[in-house]
Structure 1
Amino acid sequence: MRISGNRLFAACALFSVVCAAIPENVQAKAPSGNTLHIDIEASISQRCGISALGSNSNDSGRIDEPTRIAFRFGLDCNTPFKIGVAAQNGALQLVGTNSQSAGTAGFAYRKNYVAGLQFNTDQTGLVAAGECASSTLTSANTNCRFYGSEPGSGLFSGRNTTAIGREGELTVTWQGEESDAVRLAAGAYQEILTIIVAPST
C-alpha cells in the first residue's frame, strides 16, 4: 500500500499523539471506593517545673521575735501534677548541732515554725493547701497534706488541672520567745526547705 507524503505526515502526527497519551492512561487509576482516610498524629511533651521568683534564702534577723517570711516561686506544669514540701531538720536548728541535740545548760537548740503553701492553677485559681507544723515536714507518717520528699509525692493539683506560667508561695512563720518553754541558745539557726513538683503518675 502506498501512502503519499501528506498522508504519511498525518499518520505520524496522529501516532505521536497516541504515544504521548499512553503514559497518562497507564498512570490514572479508577477510584476503588468513596472514602479516603488520612491519619495525622502530633504531640506535646509533658513538662512540670519550678523556679524561684526573687531570693530563695532569707536572714530574718531575730529568731526570738514573731516572724513571717514568704518565698514566691513560679510554676509551669502543662499536665496534672503533685507538689510537695520537705524539711531537712523539722525546725530551725542551731548551726553546729544535730537534730538529736536537745540543748544543755537550760537552753534549747531548736525553734519550731509553721509552713504554709498556696499556688495558682489554670482551672481553679488559687489553691490554699493550708499549714503544717515544721515537725510534720520530715516524714510521710504525718498529717501534713503537702509533705513530699520525692517526685510524685505531695499534694495533687487535681484532675485535668494545670499551672502554666503560674505562681505560688511558701510561707514560714514562728512565734516570739514568749512561746518557748526553754530559752534558745545564742547563735545562728538554719533550716532547709525543699519544694518538689512533678507530673502526677
Structure 2
Amino acid sequence: MCRRLLCQTRAFALRPTSAMLSLVFAVVFAIAAPAFAQSETVTVDISAEIAPRCGFTGSGPAAASAPGDLENAAQLRFGLTLDCNTPFSLGVMATNGELLNQDAMPDGSGFAFAKTYYLTVGIDTDRGFKTSERCASSEIVAGGPCSFASTISGEGLSSGDGIAIDHDAILEVQWPDQRELSRRLAPGRYRDTLILVVGART
C-alpha cells in the first residue's frame, strides 16, 4: 500500500526512462539503415579469334626454261608470294634429284644424261630475310640430308618468329658450266620437278 501521491510520483518517474530507451533504439535503427540502395553489376565478356593460315597467293611460276644451253653455267631465280599470319616453314622436294634427259637414256656413248643442280631457299618475313644452306639436287629428294628437304606441312626452312603476309619465298637454282665436269651432256630436253610445301610450324 502506498500513499496516492507517492505512487503517482513513482509512475511518473518510470515513464521518462521508457521514452529515453525508445529514443535510443530509434537512433540505432536510423544509423544501421543503408544510406544508398544496393546496385547490381553484370559483366559481359566478348572474345574472338583469328585462325592461323599459311599458303601461297597467286599462281606463281609453274615452269621455267633455262636461258641458252644447259652446258653453260646458269642461275635461275623464282619468287612466290606468301600469306602466312603465323610462324611457318617452307619445305622443298625434288622429284628426280637431277635434271634428267627426257629424250634419251644412257647408251654407253660416254655422254652424260643427267645434270646436278644446286638450290638455295629464302623466305622474307617481318623479322627479316631467312636463307637456307645451298643443297645439291641429289640432297633434296625424299630422305635427303638437306635441312629443308620435306613435303610435310610445317617442316623445312623455318621462319623463326616471323610471319609473311604479302612477302616472298625465293628459290635460286644454279648449275655449273659443263666444261668443269668430266663429261659433256647428250642432246635432248632435261627436266626435274620441285614440290614446295608451306605450312604453319608444328
Q: What TM-score range do you get, normalising by the shorter chain?
A: 0.7 to 0.9
Pairwise CA RMSD: 2.1
- Tell me which amino acid in the other structure corresponds to 2:177: G
1:31 is the counterpart of 2:33: no
**Number of residues of Structure 1 aligned to a counterpart in Structure 2:** 165
Report matched runs for 1:46-195 at 5 Å: 46-51=52-57, 55-60=61-66, 61-96=68-103, 104-122=108-126, 124-142=127-145, 144-158=146-160, 160-195=161-196
Question: Contact 2:61–2:80 at 8 Å: present in 1 too?
Answer: no
Change (3 A) 1:69 1:161: same
Unaligned runs of 5+ in 2: 1-36
Structure 1 residues 141 and 68, CA, compared in 2 at 3 Å: closer, same or farther?
A: closer
The secondary structure found in structure 1 opposite 2:167 is strand
Structure 1 contact 86–147 (Cα < 8 Å) conserved:
yes
Q: How far 1:141 sits from its partner (Å)? A: 4.2
Report which of the two structures shows the higher radius of gyration computed on alpha carbons. 2
Counterpart of 2:51 (choices 26, 45, 48) is: 45
Aligned partners of 2:88 and 2:159 also within 8 Å: yes
C-alpha deviation, 1:178, in angstroms:
1.0
Report the AA paired with residue 149 of structure 1.
T
**Maintained 8 Å contact 2:89/2:200:** yes
Residue 54 of structure 1, CA deviation: 5.6
Q: What is the rounded CA distance, in whole Å, between the counterparts of 1:80 and 1:55 in structure 2?
A: 24
1:13-61 Cα offsets, whole Å, 9 max, x none, are: xxxxxxxxxxxxxxxx9635xx533211101121101146764321113
Residues in 2 aligned to 1:66 and 1:199: alpha-carbon distance in whole angstroms = 36
- Contact in 2 for aligned 1:56/1:71 (Cα 8 Å): no
The amino acid across from 1:167 in the alignment is D
Partner deviation per Cα, 1:87-106 (whole Å, 9 max, x = no partner): 01101011156xxx665221
- Runs of 4+ deviating beyond 4 Å: none
Q: Distance in 2 between matches of 1:169 and 1:163?
A: 13
Q: State the distance in 2 between where 1:93 and 1:185 align.
A: 10
Residue aligning to 2:7: none
Residues 92 and 113 in structure 1, CA contact (< 8 A), matched pair in contact too: yes
* Cα contact 2:92–2:140 (8 A) shared by 1: yes
Contact 1:112 1:135 in 2 (8 A): yes
